[in-house]
Structure 1
Amino acid sequence: MKSVFYSAQEVAELIGCSPSKAYEIIRKMNADLEKGGYVVMRGRVPIAYFNEKCYGGSANAGE
């Protein structure tokens, strides 16, 4: 089964930053999602939301 979340390590690799910066980005994205009423997982961000915010909605941007 394919995961629907990126981990902080995956985010760091995708955008070329440190893991600590990836966690910071994920915290900000998850805060936005929580405001919208979504359930979030610490240290993980939904792939679709990440791609929308970082790549302008490209569904396959991280592959």
Structure 2
Amino acid sequence: MAKAVAKEQLFYRAKDIAKILDVCEATAYKIIGELNKELEKEGWKTFSGRVSVTYFKERYCYKTKRGA
């Protein structure tokens, strides 16, 4: 029997970011694009229309360092 796995949200979509930052979805998509470009420059793989929750929080909400 398969075990139930708790679903932790790994990526934010435009609707999530729009709600968090109180911006329209078009602005949220621009933010996702900018963040994904930053990640790609560092060698990370990205998904169109989604951004890592951890990276978003680092850049917009908290001052933690990845890997620290």
What is the deviation of 1:44?
Answer: 0.5
TM-score with structure 1 length normalisation? 0.86
Q: Give the % identical residues.
A: 33
Match of residue 3 from structure 2: none
Q: Secondary structure at the match of 2:48?
A: coil
CA–CA distance in 2 between the matches of 1:29 and 1:40?
9
Q: Secondary structure at the match of 1:9?
A: helix
TM-score with structure 2 length normalisation? 0.80
Which protein has the larger Cα radius of gyration, Structure 1 or Structure 2?
2
Between Structure 1 and Structure 2, how many residues are aligned?
A: 58
What is the deviation of 1:2?
Answer: 1.7
Structure with greater helix percent: 1
Q: State which of 36, 39, 43 in structure 2 corresponds to 1:33.
A: 39
- Structure 1, unaligned stretches of length 5 or more? 59-63
Cα RMSD after superposing both structures: 1.1
Amino acid at match of 1:37: G
- Structure 2, unaligned stretches of length 5 or more? 1-6
